[in-house]
Structure formats: structure tokens, C-alpha cells
A = this chain, B = another copy of it.
């Protein structure tokens, strides 16, 4: 078994309202910053042992499907690196 860190990034699908991002953008603009758009995402770094990188990615994908992401409103991607 090898130790991996699987990084799952969960973001709202395009078109789904993101009130947190809107509020953050407005606050930045009130502070005088100029920006065109802002999107927020949640990121989970999971340390796990797996036979290989594919298995680590597959297990992290399952974690996303079952808990970390809501498939109705979220997209997610998984990146795996050896620890």
C-alpha cells in the first residue's frame, strides 16, 4: 500500500446561485478592489493508503458522491498525489 493525498474540490455547478461568493465579491468591492467575478469552492485533502493512484482517486470519488458533494448542485474533481 502507498500513502496518498487525494484532493477533492467541490464547486457549485455553473448557473447555481452562489450567495457566499456574491457577498464576498461585494465586500471586496467595498474595500476598493476591482474584480470581474468570484467563485467559491470547498476543498478536502484526504490522506489515505491505497494500492495505487487509481484506487485512491476512485475511493475519493466515492467519498465525493456519497458525502462531500451534492450531485444535484455540485461538480467535483479529484487530484491524487503521493505523500
Copies per complex? 2
What is the distance, in angstroms, from A23's C-beta to the closest C-beta of chain B? 11
| Tally of chain A residues near chain B (CB < 8 A) | 31
What is the distance, in angstroms, from A5's C-beta to the closest C-beta of chain B? 9
Mark contacts of A28-58 with chain B using CB atoms, 8 A cut-off: 1 yes-contact digit, 0 otherwise. 1001011111111111111111000000000
A75 at interface (Cβ–Cβ under 8 A)? no
The chain B residue sitting closest to A33, CB to CB, is B63
A66 at interface (Cβ–Cβ under 8 A)? yes
State whether B35 touches A46 (Cβ < 8 A): yes
Give the residues in chain B near A3, CB-CB below 8 Å. Answer: 36
Kindly identify which residue among B31, B37, B45, B46 contacts A47, using a CB–CB cutoff of 8 Å.
B37
